[in-house]
Amino acid sequence: MRVRGAMKVSDVMTKVPCCCKETDTVRHAAELMKSHDVGSLPVVNNCEERKLLGIVTDRDICLRIVGAGKASSSQVVEAMTKSVTANHVDDLLDACEAKMGKYQVRRIPVVDSRGVCVGIVSQADIALHDSAEHISATVAAISKRLPKRHQPDSVLVIGAA
């Protein structure tokens, strides 16, 4: 278990996560998710530079593409969340958990000072490093449904809350 407040995002994040580009097809993104056993992919400008542009989740693909009757050849840009909550690599893990609760997300990309995607933190990553009681509170905050009018649009937020 961790010492409360002492761990950084970089201590628990998945380093250099699998990413996709806006111009990739959602079929390709879904294939990447399947082969890497993940539920989301950071969307980057290109695979070399990895500048974070957004995130696409399996749920985004289901609701925005499949549920809307669009083809699997649709581009990721049609399904992705373009404005995304991100953490800086040096942020404290407590700040990351607070953002997860505030924005009700289970995964948050991690960027460096140049906006390059260097990792991703998932609810599961945090669960492996914290007490059951604290994880329970975090999961409850993430899962609590806000009334539709109060649900925030995702906003690019980098750094501690």
- Maximum separation of any 2 CA atoms in the chain, in Å: 48
Structural domain that includes position 117: 9-150
The whole-angstrom separation of Cα 151 and Cα 36 is: 30
Q: Is residue 14 part of a domain?
A: yes
Residue 15 within a domain? yes
pLDDT tens, position by position, 67-88 = 999 999 999 999 999 988 899 9
DSSP output for 62-84: IIIIITTT--TTSBGGGTSBSS-
What are 128-158's pLDDT values in tens digits?
876 666 666 666 666 677 665 444 444 444 4
CATH of the domain at 36: 3.10.580.10
**CB burial of residue 58 (10 Å; 0-12, 13-18, 19+):** middle
Specify if 42 maps to a domain. Answer: yes
Residue with tokens 């399996």: 58
Q: Is residue 1 part of a domain?
A: no
Q: Name the helix (H) or strand (E) containing 117.
A: strand 117-122
pLDDT in tens, 9-64: 999 999 989 999 999 999 999 999 999 999 999 999 998 999 999 999 999 999 99
pLDDT for 5 beyond 90: no
- Total domain count, the chain: 1
Task: Give the span between the Cα atoms of 52 and 44, in whole angstroms.
Answer: 5
Rounded Cα distance, 41 and 99, in Å = 18
- Alpha-carbon distance of 80 to 93, in angstroms, equals 25
Residue 65 lies in a domain: yes
How high is the pLDDT of residue 26? 97
Contact 146, 101 (CB under 8 A): no
pLDDT of residue 135: 64
In a domain, 84, yes or no: yes
Considering the domain boundaries, does residue 35 fall inside one? Answer: yes
> Starting from the edge strand earliest in sequence, which strands make up the sheet with 117-122, in order?
14-15, 117-122, 107-111, 87-88
pLDDT digits (tens, 9 = 90+) for 104-126: 899 999 999 999 999 999 988 88
What is the spatial distance between Cα 109 and Cα 87, in angstroms, rounded to a whole number? 6
